[in-house]
Structure 1
Amino acid sequence: MRLLVIGAGIGGLALARGLLATGHQVTVLEQAPSPRTTGSAITVWSGGVGVLRALGVSTEGLGTRIDRLENRTDAGEHLYSIDVAHAARRLGHPSITAPRRDLLARLADGLPEGTVEYGRRFVRAKEGGSGVQAVLADGDTAEGDLLIGADGHHSAVRRHLWGQDPTEPAGWATWQGLIDLRPRITGPHHGLMINGRAGFCGLLPAGPDTLQWWFSFPWRPGGPGGPGVSGVSGAAGAPALPLLRERFAHWAAPVPAVLEGLREAEIEMFPHHTHRVRRIWGGERSTLLGDAAHTMPPIVAQGANQALEDAWVLARLLAHRPGNLTAALRRYEHFRSRRVSPIARLAATEYTYRYHPPRWDRLVPGPLVTRAYGRWLYATSDYLRGRRRWW
């Protein structure tokens, strides 16, 4: 079977690996002129790591393993810690944080030459009983038996299939980046989540000497520090770094040290978007995957993980149900929409962006939080649910 995948992001490359492993022919069409190197880091939880390994992607030396997540107030007061390593032992796979570019390189490694075609921007598709044709911006076309849109939260395939872009601003935004401060900020496998009146800060090791940092707070399009020509300046011309320092420099250590080490040119900003997850995503010969199907804010760190889950489920369905392709696509959408809808709804509430941490957070025993978190990771993963029982 010939499959066209639109988008060479995490979900698109993962799907290509899964389909190629089962004997299908795959062409990935990516509008960027070359492999993407932008983006900060990605946290891949146990289920996502399991999918990577099942797809033949080595996670050895990829980023850094996360063993503990500590939650603090902006005054430096400890709230609770999550023993991520304990959940990893029960679920069979660790959780890791790695630069996005490194994860993309691992996913692309070993793909047959010519699998990914760069500089190929999708415009529209023509579906019929015998296949699908993708029409590209340069007037060229590509043909296949199925077309899968894995082209992100501004998906051109979704606009074509749904007739609109359903995403709406979620009212928050994130400023993020990578710096070489990890040994002085966190332990080698220790992440910090800090929240207060100004917003939210996250710090995670993403390599031997690399720290992923991010700040999130309420923001509307056109606000200061938003994406402009440079990618960091807002409509009013205000750069991002002074805004972040004004808002967060008074927080307890280690936040001031992180802010001191930032440089304007290295700051990436993205507004949060959300939309209701539909039950049907595609047409007779098409469907969607990842952010194209279920855009969600990053608060629960599930965007990349659910793209990996989509890829794993769809590749398996197409391997075991090659007869009625339309029925296989609808089964995939039904199965995955039920799993990802509650995750997207939770992410859309910006649930953990709390200006005033509840007092009971200080009273919850660490083992109880750890157990609940492990159950949450298990519940979000079709890969884990299909391979092992929880406790």
Structure 2
Amino acid sequence: MFKISKINCINIGLPLIDTIHMSNVTMTKSNSIIIRIQNNYGEIGWGEAAASLSMTGESAPGMIAAINFITENITGKDIEDIEDIYKLIATSVYGNFAAKSAIEMALIDLLGINQKKSFYQLIGKKIRHELPIIWRISGSEKEIQNALEKRDEGFIAFKIKVGAQDLSYDLKRAENLRKKLGDGIQLTADANGGYCPKDAITFSKKSHSVGLDYFEQPVAGTDLYTMKHCNKISNIPISADEGIHTMHDLHKHYQMKAAEGGSLKLIKFGSITSLIQATKYMEEKKMHINISGKAGDSSISAAAIGNISMVLSKLDWYSNVSIQYLGDDIIKVPHQIINGKLKVTEGYGLGLTVDEEKLEYYKI
């Protein structure tokens, strides 16, 4: 057992190697809230959640306000096991799922350090040892060359960001990439909800002919009727991301046949227990599953995604992390992606050591 002694909240922006172009957002650097929690033994746990008005509706100032509110209510509380953490965070504040997920992550990391257990041992049973990672293709002039290089490095899954350019241009990009990458590679397109219904329907009709394996979030997350229509006319599965934040959202997509799979993020569900519950539901309904972080996340988030991914019995649409797109990280020994697979550092909790000088340097 330990007592929560101190919680610090740090707003950071990390540099990206290249600008990331999505349908409704252009990113030149990341924006994450980092949580540092210390217990009465002096042990420290770390958590992270991206600020994303376009994904969760949570801005950095709003998340900081929510975290300060939660801090006032949980400082001094005793933590004995993971159930204590789940209960404490679930009732700490209404909504604010990204903010809550960062604090929960830090507390589980701290619990692992305190109990000398890895993060995954606290949340489930290790099922998989290899974690293939999806490589994002965001519209650079050398995207085909870069994709071929990554394929040769061992990547087996690629996601094209579409919706920022003309529809016919995006379709041609997909077709060219499939021809160059060949068969046996998972190739998908993600519109991030950026297409109008007419263009989404057109893209869905042609998605199979250009060699795509599935099409993610064609239209806004609230437009389930167009999602349903796209799924009906498409010869490949339609996936939901921005449209799924809760079990209710997930059930509604399944019930309406608006998606055959989905991308699940901790910042949307707010807790690991809710996210794992969602994966079990999806497996039961024979839906496809992807676990993802947010563009620009550091190795803290990557470590959490890796540990969560290891305990899932189904993960056929693989995992997404962002450390490969960062110009710098805040971890002394950043996680590595080798042969297209994330190598999760073994150790207690998340198994990482934060470079607090870099944390201060990238503070916003």
Instruction: Calculate the TM-score normalised by the size of structure 2.
Output: 0.25
Which has a greater percent of strand? Answer: 1
Q: Which has the larger radius of gyration?
A: 1
Instruction: Calculate the TM-score normalised by the size of structure 1.
Output: 0.24
